[in-house]
Homo-oligomer: A and B are copies of this chain.
């Protein structure tokens, strides 16, 4: 992995960093406030793309998910139209018609077939889209090479920080870029629900391999992140690969291709960066919590344990309060469903060992409290049973989470 890591570097950028992608945003005033909020985004590739997506696992699925799944069935797409403010979920036939019309409007504007357009929405459930306002906002929208950050802004809802990043990977004499943006920030939970993320690359990638790579990257990143345990009907991670940076006659990246591990690593790095930023910006959050589990019986157990700890309200509230109440961490491991034997466990909070081999370890409480005041809190739990390891991300639980979610529709 050392060599792979050296060949990849993250840099400030986004979905239009890779060659051949244009994006832009406009205001359709889907919600009244804030009055200058961008809420309609358009992403476009100058060339046809291999496309792969992961959709929400919620049984209630919003109209844009149903339409996009259909449009992506052939593994190809060239554009994304997305709005925030209204989820177009639980809206029946009319909602399906509205999602189809969004695809048709974007296709007309870009001279594509509607099937080449992915549709995405996020916001309040049960509202209908104001199609007139979307139509006129779209008419004024001009995608450009510089529009990646505006696109990222347009998908934000309760996010307080824009999440956008890019990575370059050097492979022989080539340089490919991967760009991405994402939005949270409530309704976020493992298993790929509850968020939007859009990823682009100018590497040439086989559609099936793109799909497989995206699944692996999401498993290590978005699926290891939890804000509140809720999953939404709308969520989607989409990857588009247009091959714009490939040389003539170049073999697309697929299984066994020499660049495959590099591409996978770059995609995973971008997704992990976005997942951490999503967790850090969880609704009302004041701290990022990283939970590393080692020594689990297997990887599935490690993932289960890490997510249970990162998702425990009692752990989250304790960390908010800088309270070294480590019993709650063990408790969460205990109910995770993973194999846990207390006498084999070692637990570290901010690097301080607080529990080992079935017994509390003495520690200086004042020092640990101070360490817990950091904006990043690290929990490491060694289950002492096997080779399984995994990392999960979450955030603390604050009064602000409650305030934000007590009045979301107002």
- Docked complex: A361-410 residues within 8 A CB-CB of B: 397-399, 401-410
**B126 and A231 form a contact (CB under 8 A):** no
**A231 and B335 form a contact (CB under 8 A):** yes
Q: A403 — which chain B residues lie within 8 A by C-beta?
A: 399
Whether, in the assembled complex, A327 has its beta carbon less than 8 Å from a beta carbon of chain B, the answer is: yes
Whether, in the assembled complex, A321 has its beta carbon less than 8 Å from a beta carbon of chain B, the answer is: yes
Contact of A58 among B59, B334, B343 (CB under 8 A): B334
Whether, in the assembled complex, A64 has its beta carbon less than 8 Å from a beta carbon of chain B, the answer is: no
Contact with B along A279-322 (1 / 0, CB 8 A): 00000000000000000000000000000000111100110110
**B330 and A125 form a contact (CB under 8 A):** yes
Whether, in the assembled complex, A185 has its beta carbon less than 8 Å from a beta carbon of chain B, the answer is: no
Q: A318-B408, A321-B407 are in contact. List 6 more A-B contacts (CB 8 A).
A: A57-B335, A60-B342, A229-B312, A318-B406, A323-B408, A397-B402
Whether, in the assembled complex, A278 has its beta carbon less than 8 Å from a beta carbon of chain B, the answer is: no
Whether, in the assembled complex, A170 has its beta carbon less than 8 Å from a beta carbon of chain B, the answer is: no
- Minimum CB distance partner of A322 in chain B: B406
Q: With A358-B92, A359-B92 given, is the CB distance from A335 to B193 under 8 Å?
A: yes
A128 to chain B minimum Cβ distance, whole angstroms, is 8
**B355 and A324 form a contact (CB under 8 A):** no
Contact of A399 among B60, B91, B402 (CB under 8 A): B402
Q: A328 — which chain B residues lie within 8 A by C-beta?
A: 125, 230
Whether, in the assembled complex, A348 has its beta carbon less than 8 Å from a beta carbon of chain B, the answer is: no
Q: A317 — which chain B residues lie within 8 A by C-beta?
A: 401-402, 404-406
Identical subunits present: 2
Q: When chains A and B are docked, how far (Å) is the Cα of A313 from the Cα of B126?
A: 19
**B405 and A402 form a contact (CB under 8 A):** no
Whether, in the assembled complex, A87 has its beta carbon less than 8 Å from a beta carbon of chain B, the answer is: yes
Whether, in the assembled complex, A325 has its beta carbon less than 8 Å from a beta carbon of chain B, the answer is: yes
Q: When chains A and B are docked, how far (Å) is the Cα of A330 from the Cα of B62?
A: 11
**A331 and B187 form a contact (CB under 8 A):** yes
**B334 and A406 form a contact (CB under 8 A):** no
Nearest 7 interchain pairs by C-beta: A125-B327, A321-B406, A60-B334, A317-B405, A399-B399, A58-B334, A92-B358
Whether, in the assembled complex, A97 has its beta carbon less than 8 Å from a beta carbon of chain B, the answer is: no
**A326 and B126 form a contact (CB under 8 A):** yes
- Minimum CB distance partner of A312 in chain B: B230
Q: When chains A and B are docked, how far (Å) is the Cα of A327 from the Cα of B311?
A: 22
Q: When chains A and B are docked, how far (Å) is the Cα of A331 from the Cα of B410?
A: 19
A410 to chain B minimum Cβ distance, whole angstroms, is 6
Contact of A333 among B60, B324, B327, B333 (CB under 8 A): B60
A11 to chain B minimum Cβ distance, whole angstroms, is 35
Contact of A59 among B334, B360, B398 (CB under 8 A): B334
Q: When chains A and B are docked, how far (Å) is the Cα of A108 from the Cα of B61?
A: 62
**A313 and B229 form a contact (CB under 8 A):** yes
Q: A61 — which chain B residues lie within 8 A by C-beta?
A: 334
Q: A187 — which chain B residues lie within 8 A by C-beta?
A: 314, 331
Whether, in the assembled complex, A124 has its beta carbon less than 8 Å from a beta carbon of chain B, the answer is: yes
- Docked complex: A159-207 residues within 8 A CB-CB of B: 186-187, 193
Whether, in the assembled complex, A99 has its beta carbon less than 8 Å from a beta carbon of chain B, the answer is: no
Q: When chains A and B are docked, how far (Å) is the Cα of A92 from the Cα of B343?
A: 8
Q: When chains A and B are docked, how far (Å) is the Cα of A397 from the Cα of B284?
A: 14
Whether, in the assembled complex, A228 has its beta carbon less than 8 Å from a beta carbon of chain B, the answer is: yes
- Minimum CB distance partner of A342 in chain B: B60
Contact of A405 among B126, B229, B318 (CB under 8 A): B318
